Chain A
């Protein structure tokens, strides 16, 4: 530390003396490195990394699916430039889809989003659906299995439909409300003889939660993906049918809805989207890369383990499939789910009451309030103002994404360091070295090793 700790004799020397030169040299070097890193030739497509937006959290089903493909693209050298996975989770995939919708239509932003893109529109989360994007490929299909618990007393699909018709709302359907499982239930309702079936929908998040609900007898029926069903079936589950034309090879004993005479089909397909208006040849290039990845042997192996059918939908077939899915869902009437009455506003009222009560109380007991030993009198307002301003400027500039991350971060760290050290005792060389090392190190670890897309 003593090597770096090199206090200038007077503040003036810092700005005009040799150290200023050293500082500008080091900062200049950092800028140079940043420029070199950012430089990329843009001759043929893809001429720079392609961002693959996954609108769900890292580690989830969609994310895993995409990462398996991206890994194959990298290993089999299917693209001259890497595909980088960017997770933008939240609000049922709509935070991510909204971002891709507004992204430049240059082929460098690609999104993977399953049927949730349709259900988000019809459940009212977002005003747009598949029409706001260009679909380029559908890869991998997961059929849904209609499942009851063994204790429900329902033995086959016909019995389920009959009971739903005879006693509406007597059967509890565990679903992730607003998501595909909910719509699967709604769609199944319309397949009773008199089209008058009604489930009683109960909110349960993912497949594992729905399994828990069936096991504990808190719900009677739900839908699982084939993989989920295989995982859970020995926990006392009975599959009534698989919602597709044919049986699944993995569970051949389960009949398909088609052969039971119920034209109810529901599956989840991983679709790939680009912003509307992307050039056709770029879409073709991306589709080719993805298709080759799907044909990679390791991908086939992994998808088989995940019970994903390796189907590929393209062109007319793809549009047909999307149209069919959207029509089926658009025809459904969504009933408003039951809500806890007055929850939000009730909380607000309680809060207001507590604030008022607390206010009155502290007026009444003025002087005997809690000690404020930590804060009073020790505030350095000048530095507080400087640091806050610096931090805010840093964040605003990061948000605009115009200045490179390394450059901006280096400057921010240096500036903050200046604020934190006393005039006349500034370890300027140390500060600069720290700023450069830290900003480059962090962007290397996060950007290159962990492949996080830094702002």
Chain B
């Protein structure tokens, strides 16, 4: 614990958080990339210093993504995808600074709530999470899919169409369940399919840059932040507190489940917030609640994912898997006994998580005004720079030019989809969740010898499936009742 009060400990904390925010804000570069590449640099450090640096990078990166998501409509990290839906509309309507402030406070709140779960309930929650078998996990993923099909749905059927397209795009490559190759067209580079990062960068960043490039007038929609004076007030905490809290709990819960990352956490929280919102029609058009739900949840997933990592040695996300490696390299045996054998290191991780959230809040609030400058940078600097980082980011993932072409391909696809008014978010969610659903259902079927019965005989999976059916049913029914297939309230006419 002494490490955190030492000068070097504090400087690692600040450096990690700041680096995380910057890398998180740059489209194309992700926190996972930063942490993986920083790992060799930590060999020289002591175990606790290494963890201070890496955990604060993790916190910074997941928070920094909102900056470009809000100002440029390009998610800096996958976790910030949902923030683009409402953050950007807020920014172009002159409420950019408010969107950022709300997002920053929501991130902090998400971090705090999941910190509480982390210190109080790490052990029992982690143990409970292993009781979810493959069928239950499948039910859960199915439930998330149904909930999310309507996430940006001005039009229900277009949302479903986008989701199915996303699922289809996840098929090529190695089957997540059996390891067999499929739909590779006999072409070797395809044997790993499409990776999330190039797909996401393509859909949002490349598509966004090209939309800007193709526009006749210079920067018609560039967010104006500098002159949007409205910040946030004390009453906002009362007004939005419940939403932030609920989203944080959802984010923590989803963070605990292995393999389901921050992007899904924020999407589920967004979907739920929309369900409970007073006027859900505002979602996707600059809803403050949308920004809060997304940002609170994605920060909370970080704390959530640390729970199984610390308590059981099970990593909940890619970044956690790297942190697990860091523990091992520094001679700290992860697993159920980490608490007993190395209590100091557990406390360092927890306290770092707490402090990094605080540092993030401070740095981001101080920098909020500067972030406005992002929209003011001349386009001939901004757009080529983003494009360059996207190319490097996609390339460095696997040192393959193939990934860069995948990025370009999905950029074209994203551009075309938007021209046809097909929403992008359900596409990404389908793309992320389909392999998870497949893997879990396959594992379940293999364990049951091919019987589908446990889907309904196991109480939890039955419950999840019922909820999904009810959810899908009501959505359809609402759509029919309105006589159109539009979902969500029509834009206010007054």
* A interface with B by C-beta (< 8 Å): 1, 57-61, 63-64, 67-68, 71, 86-92, 94-95, 98, 123-125, 169, 172, 176-179, 182, 200-206, 208-209, 211-213, 215-219, 227, 230-235, 302, 305-306, 337-340, 343-344, 347-348, 350-351, 354-355, 357-358, 361, 365, 369-370, 372, 374-375, 378-381, 383-384, 387-388, 391-392, 395, 398-399, 409, 412-413, 416-417, 419-422, 427, 431, 434, 438, 442, 446, 450-455
Quick check: B449 and A200 within 8 Å, CB to CB?
Answer: yes
Query: Among the listed A125, A202, A208, A421, which residue makes an inter-chain contact with B313, where contact means beta carbons less than 8 Å apart?
Result: A208
Quick check: A338 and B445 within 8 Å, CB to CB?
Answer: yes
Query: Among the listed A90, A217, A232, A305, which residue makes an inter-chain contact with B331, where contact means beta carbons less than 8 Å apart?
Result: A305
Quick check: B177 and A211 within 8 Å, CB to CB?
Answer: no
Indicate whether B122 reaches chain A with its CB closer than 8 angstroms: no
Q: Which residues of B contact A59 (CB under 8 A)?
A: 32, 35-36, 39, 318, 321-322, 325
A354-B388 contact, Cβ under 8 Å, with A125-B191, A421-B380: no
A208-B385 contact, Cβ under 8 Å, with A91-B192, A92-B179, A354-B157: no
Quick check: B333 and A203 within 8 Å, CB to CB?
Answer: no
Q: Which residues of A contact B183 (CB under 8 A)?
A: 344
For the complex formed, measure the closest distance between the CB of B493 and the CB atoms of chain A, giving whole angstroms. 14
Q: Which residues of A contact B259 (CB under 8 A)?
A: 209
- In Å, the complex CA distance between A431 and B380 comes to 8
Question: A234-B337, A420-B213 known; 5 other A-B pairs, CB under 8 Å?
Answer: A203-B443, A372-B421, A383-B213, A434-B381, A454-B395
For the complex formed, measure the closest distance between the CB of A132 and the CB atoms of chain B, giving whole angstroms. 13
Question: Which has the most chain A C-beta neighbours within 10 Å: B188, B312, B446?
Answer: B446
Quick check: B446 and A347 within 8 Å, CB to CB?
Answer: no
Quick check: A380 and B215 within 8 Å, CB to CB?
Answer: yes
- In Å, the complex CA distance between A399 and B403 comes to 11
28 A–B contacts from the bound complex (CB under 8 Å): A59-B32, A59-B39, A59-B322, A64-B328, A68-B43, A88-B398, A92-B179, A94-B191, A95-B188, A95-B191, A177-B177, A203-B442, A209-B258, A212-B312, A215-B312, A338-B445, A340-B438, A348-B168, A350-B164, A375-B211, A378-B215, A395-B401, A399-B401, A420-B383, A421-B380, A427-B380, A438-B385, A454-B392
Q: Which residues of B contact A416 (CB under 8 A)?
A: 380, 383-384, 387
Quick check: B335 and A351 within 8 Å, CB to CB?
Answer: no
A87-B399 contact, Cβ under 8 Å, with A215-B130, A306-B329: yes
Q: Which residues of B contact A94 (CB under 8 A)?
A: 191
Q: Which residues of B contact A370 (CB under 8 A)?
A: 154-155, 421
Quick check: B442 and A384 within 8 Å, CB to CB?
Answer: no
Quick check: B165 and A351 within 8 Å, CB to CB?
Answer: yes
Q: Which residues of A contact B421 (CB under 8 A)?
A: 369-370, 372
| Shortest Cβ distance from B38 into A: residue | A450
Quick check: A88 and B400 within 8 Å, CB to CB?
Answer: yes
Q: How many residues of B contact A (CB 8 A)?
A: 107
- In Å, the complex CA distance between A177 and B164 comes to 26
Indicate whether B182 reaches chain A with its CB closer than 8 angstroms: yes
A442-B392 contact, Cβ under 8 Å, with A60-B325, A178-B179, A340-B442: yes
Stretch with Cβ within 8 A of A (4 or more), from B61-69, B93-101, B131-139? B131-139
Residues B174-195 near A (CB distance < 8 A):
174-175, 177-183, 188-189, 191-192, 195
Question: Which has the most chain B C-beta neighbours within 10 Å: A91, A209, A348?
Answer: A91
Indicate whether B336 reaches chain A with its CB closer than 8 angstroms: yes
Mask: chain B, 296-331; 1 = CB below 8 Å from A; 0 = not: 000000000000000011110010011011001111
Q: Which residues of B contact A206 (CB under 8 A)?
A: 321
Quick check: B214 and A446 within 8 Å, CB to CB?
Answer: no
Quick check: A357 and B192 within 8 Å, CB to CB?
Answer: no
Quick check: A90 and B191 within 8 Å, CB to CB?
Answer: yes
Quick check: A358 and B329 within 8 Å, CB to CB?
Answer: no
| Shortest Cβ distance from B377 into A: residue | A1
